[in-house]
Amino acid sequence: MRGWGAAITLMWASTCLAGQVQVENVRTWPAPDHTRVVFDIDRPVDHTLFMLKNPGRVVLDLRAADLAAKLPEPETNDRLLKRLRAGSRKDGVLRVVLDLKADVRPKSFQLKPNSQYGHRLVIDLQAADDPARAASSSPRNKAPARMRDIIVAVDPGHGGEDPGAIGRRRTKEKDVVLAIAKRLKARVDREPGMRAVLTRDGDYFLGLRRRMQIARRHGADLFVSVHADAFSDPRVHGSSVYILSRNGASSEAARWLAEQENASDLIGGVSLDDKDELLASVLLDLSQTATISASTEVARSVLQQLRSVGKTHKKNVERAGFMVLKSPDIPSILVEADFISNPQVERRLKSSSHQTALADAVVRGVREYFKRNAPPNTLFATREHVITRGDTLSAIAVRYGTSVAALRSANRINGSDIREGEVLRIPYASGS
């Protein structure tokens, strides 16, 4: 009899396994404006999502599902998610409750397997208040008075659930490009008259449109997206700089690459905002021509500097339909910092000295570009004056129609000490 009992139990267990969806792992990705909760499942699952108030929580019901994993504790820096709880109902429904710290707009969608993960159910909790919007209402400028900093938006590709390309030693593009981007930001911030903002500064996913929005909210003068390339042939290496093309890609490889990078957006799921896409694309076309010519110039300048760091993949700036470069009003470039699929390059991309060298090259290219194309009222929109015997700050100010204060701030001078032979930057008066 005991044998029978065991057999029956076993049979029940196996039909149960075949019938029930298994939740194999759960992870959270906190970002400044949203938290993503990802459920690894062994196949697609029927589910419903609804919200309850007092206290605020999101309830997720998974039909015919079992929890075969421990629920994670939310990260300490998570400003939206307080706790995860789960329980199985008699009808086979697995209920997961997401206790909240703040108001959210939740959405859910499922993802197909990729190179790193299998089937996934994703819950995005979008903050009802937007920290990026709040931040942009109080812009901080290093330069006082009417001078402003040139803002460079630095955009590390991919992140969170989207690893980007993966090297042979399992180095992920999302990690390498974040490290390079952080160095690039630090480098830009050291440049007088320039300041950088990162579109993401942690390991979380951002949609391509969202990246552009962040740049626009900060009033960016330039958008630099940082990626690392991958190819099936491990010998291929060299950095590239891309700009947006409206009329097809400059090569088959460029088209292929743009498809790979744009696919990153699918990880964002479908949202109602996408309805505006057609209208947006029409508006984009109207104002993009001037931006593309500016992008071409900055891309050339950066590509030239990258030659000092290593081989470049192609001699010229390449073009393709990269979604993330579609800002109508911000010159935008995409830097593919060499091929992570090349094992030697993969090792180099992880080294801090190489990351710094790449960041330095990009900054030099950007600086050269802004020297030739200075936005008004920035430190770059200045003339130079070589100090001769008898010059005083006030005399120079009068001569160039500016003020002593403006001269001091443009040249970081405190008193009125100037030396013969020294070169002063003369800011153009605001509005001229």
Strands 222-229 and 332-339: parallel
**CA proximity to 402, closest of 383, 380, 374, 421:** 383
Inter-CA distances, 343 with 257, 307, 317, 336, 369, Å: 19, 20, 25, 16, 33
Quick one: CA torsion of 60, 61, 67, 69, rounded to 10 degrees?
Answer: -10
Residue 404 in tokens = 């002593």
80 vs 181, which CB is nearer to Zn ion?
A: 181
Q: How far is the CB of 336 from Zn ion (least distance, A)?
A: 7
Q: How far is the CB of 227 from Zn ion (least distance, A)?
A: 3
242 vs 400, which CB is nearer to Zn ion?
A: 242
Q: How far is the CB of 181 from Zn ion (least distance, A)?
A: 12
Please give the angle made by the CA atoms of 246, 251 and 252, to the nearest 5 degrees. 110
**Enclosing H/E stretch for 205:** none
260 vs 316, which CB is nearer to Zn ion?
A: 260
Please give the angle made by the CA atoms of 318, 373 and 297, to the nearest 5 degrees. 10
Q: State the Cα–Cα distance between residues 28 and 243, nearest whole angstrom.
A: 34
71 vs 334, which CB is nearer to Zn ion?
A: 334
Q: How far is the CB of 200 from Zn ion (least distance, A)?
A: 13
Q: How far is the CB of 178 from Zn ion (least distance, A)?
A: 12
32 vs 157, which CB is nearer to Zn ion?
A: 157
Q: How far is the CB of 180 from Zn ion (least distance, A)?
A: 12
Coil, strand or helix at 253: helix
Q: State the Cα–Cα distance between residues 241 and 233, nearest whole angstrom.
A: 20
Q: How far is the CB of 142 from Zn ion (least distance, A)?
A: 31
Coil, strand or helix at 400: helix
Q: How far is the CB of 173 from Zn ion (least distance, A)?
A: 5
Strands 318-320 and 81-88: unpaired
Please give the angle made by the CA atoms of 310, 230 and 244, to the nearest 5 degrees. 85
94 vs 335, which CB is nearer to Zn ion?
A: 335
Neighbour-count burial of 223, counting CB atoms closer than 10 A to its CB (0-12 exposed, 13-18 middle, 19+ buried): buried
164 vs 193, which CB is nearer to Zn ion?
A: 164
337 vs 379, which CB is nearer to Zn ion?
A: 337
Q: Can you name the residues that pair with 334 across neighbouring β-strands? A: 225, 242
Interface positions with Zn ion (CB under 5 A)? 157, 164, 227, 261
Q: How far is the CB of 349 from Zn ion (least distance, A)?
A: 13
Instruction: Give the E-state strand segments of 131-259 in sequence order.
Output: 150-156, 194-198, 222-229, 240-244
Residue nearest to Zn ion (CB): 227
50 vs 256, which CB is nearer to Zn ion?
A: 256
